[in-house]
Amino acid sequence: MFRLIGNLLVALLLIGCAANPSRSPFGELPTLRLSPISLGHTLALQQRLQVTVHDKTQTLDALLEVDGQELRLGVQALGQSALNLHWDGHTLQQQRADWLPPSLSGERVLFDLQLVYWPAEAIRAALPTDWSLQESAGQRHLLHAGTAVVDVTYPTENHAVLNQLRDGYQLDITSTTADGSGQ
């Protein structure tokens, strides 16, 4: 058991190191902070998250709910609460486990969630002028000055893979709805 916890902590620390923007040639990511209502529908998903950093993979469980008023996300690691987020379109509240690296922030998680799930037009409207979002069947590409920074692919309806090229991590998300069916 202690070995598993140790492995998880190492993986989370690696994520924190990978998320260090000072090592990035792309600069800072823009902030999306899109309102929950701009999603255009409700979500209630149970998720299995596989986070891969530097060839090390860890699995986490999450619950994501979005309605017209608020986004709520709870992430657990080995049955312990790692991160809880509440976003109402104005204020981001987060409760984090002490062992999470500081660079693994609620803002980063919110950005990744919105890049994966929000409509492309809402994302484009929130991007600064030197950023763009390209979308085609089953994929999205976030670009800064024409260079890909984040790629998202959707192998199936209930499966998304986010490749954070800037910071060197991959987030593989498999979702089921509250009734156990696919997204």
* Number of alpha carbons in the 13 Å side-chain half-sphere of residue 63: 9
Number of folded domains that form the chain: 1
- 182 inside domain: no
pTM attached to this predicted model: 0.83
How many CB atoms neighbour CB 74 within 10 A?
A: 16
Per residue in 67-114, pLDDT tens?
Answer: 999 999 999 988 889 999 999 999 999 999 988 877 778 999 999 999
- 183 inside domain: no
Q: What is the CATH number for 56?
A: 2.50.20
Which domain does 62 fall in, by range? 2-177
- Across the chain, which has 183 residues, the per-10-residue mean pLDDT values are 38 46 56 95 96 90 96 92 96 92 85 96 96 96 96 96 94 85 56
CA dihedral 61, 26, 105, 2 (to 10 degrees): 50
